A and B are shown apart, each in its own frame.
Chain A
Amino acid sequence: MGVIKKLPVYTETIPGGALVVTNLEAVLNFGRAKSLWYLLFGTACCAIELMCTGASRYDFDRLGMIFRASPRQADLIIAAGTITKKMAPRLRKLYDQMSEPRYVIAMGGCTIKGGPFYYDSYSVEKGIDHIVPVDIYIPGCPPRPESLMEGCLHLQEIIRKQKLSDWQEK
């Protein structure tokens, strides 16, 4: 079984089958990382590259990632595209509606620091990290699908290293 090879386990054969001992964190993190469902939050140009990453050539489904339309069913927001001052409260509302554990990827230059709209723009929110806490930043304008997939793989590494106590109520 491929899954057993990827987790830290202790196996022992007993009559009728096997005994597998592992720790809950490893199993839960493995399950979460390999099946991230992302919320389609595409506002601008990076949304087209997000669509292309989910399509035939650069398939997102092989990483276990499917788009969902509702924030209640998603655990990742890929914020793809410029966020304006009018749209910022809506992004926060969507983030608040997701249930924990939840992650945010900031895709594209506009979400990092305003991108090409940093100078001379009166209506662009220059970066989203003062609206929602961001886990991964992916630079590019727009980033290639390969960059986006690398960002998601990094996120999977981060999730595999998380502890159960991170998400417990204090």
Chain B
Amino acid sequence: MTQQELTAYILANYDGKLTLLDTGRAEPMFELKPDDLLEVTRRLRDDPQLKFDFLCNMGGVDTGQRLEVVYSIASTTKHLRMDFKVVLGYENPSIETITEIWPAANWYEREMYELYGIEVKNHPDMRPLLLPEDWNQGFPMRKNWDAPDFIRMPEL
């Protein structure tokens, strides 16, 4: 299967759970609802035509209006790659963990929680990863975050 056939295959076989976003890019970006996350990702991993066994990247994005979690996955045997995202709001954002499907997501989810505040349910080991142990100044990667010693670069 090539990358072009991948989009058609996904839209045909995944009962509308993965919707294609029109971003005009060469590579497709799908959107997923938070409740369908575990089920759809398990199917993506176990599907014999796709076999997405490698989680490349997972991160949070703050667009200014909403929070998103973006996943990038790849298949080492079938030479395929795809991205999908889950859209969340600013009040109590929370998502299920996918460490039982791809164990690589462990540290990515810990980092996402402490930098963006997106809560991850049922994570095996939710401790802070990157920030100092006594950090109490909020979630730094959000767009509206500020602190007394945070110096922004002036416009040139």
Contact in complex: B132, A120 (CB < 8 Å): no
CA distance A151 to B152 in the complex (A): 32
CA distance A122 to B139 in the complex (A): 11
Whether, in the assembled complex, A170 has its beta carbon less than 8 Å from a beta carbon of chain B, the answer is no
Contact in complex: B147, A122 (CB < 8 Å): yes
Contacts of A120 in B (CB 8 A): 150-153
Whether, in the assembled complex, B56 has its beta carbon less than 8 Å from a beta carbon of chain A, the answer is no
Contact in complex: B151, A118 (CB < 8 Å): yes
Contact in complex: B132, A119 (CB < 8 Å): no
CA distance A74 to B84 in the complex (A): 53
Q: How large is the interface on B (under 10, 10 to 19, 20 to 34, 35 or more residues)?
A: 10 to 19
CA distance A116 to B130 in the complex (A): 20
Report if A85-B152 is in contact (Cβ < 8 Å); known contacts: A122-B140, A122-B147: no
Contacts of A122 in B (CB 8 A): 137, 140, 145, 147, 150
Whether, in the assembled complex, A86 has its beta carbon less than 8 Å from a beta carbon of chain B, the answer is yes
Q: How far is the CB of A122 from chain B (nearest CB, A)?
A: 5
Contact in complex: A119, B147 (CB < 8 Å): no
The residues in A between 50 and 104 inclusive whose CB is less than 8 angstroms from any CB of B are 85-86
Contacts of B132 in A (CB 8 A): 85-86, 123
CA distance A137 to B132 in the complex (A): 27
Q: How far is the CB of A112 from chain B (nearest CB, A)?
A: 16
Contacts of A86 in B (CB 8 A): 131-133
Of the candidates A85, A119, A123, the one whose C-beta lies within 8 Å of that of B153 is A119
Contacts of B130 in A (CB 8 A): 123
Interface flags, A111-133, vs B, CB<8A=1, else 0: 00000001111110000000000
Contacts of B152 in A (CB 8 A): 119-120
CA distance A85 to B130 in the complex (A): 11
CB<8 Å pairs between A and B, sample of 12: A86-B131, A118-B151, A119-B152, A119-B153, A120-B151, A120-B152, A122-B137, A122-B140, A122-B145, A122-B147, A123-B131, A123-B132
Residues of B with Cβ closer than 8 Å to A?
130-133, 137, 140, 145, 147, 150-153
Further contacts, 7 of them, CB under 8 A, given A120-B152, A122-B145? A118-B151, A119-B152, A120-B153, A121-B150, A122-B137, A122-B147, A123-B131
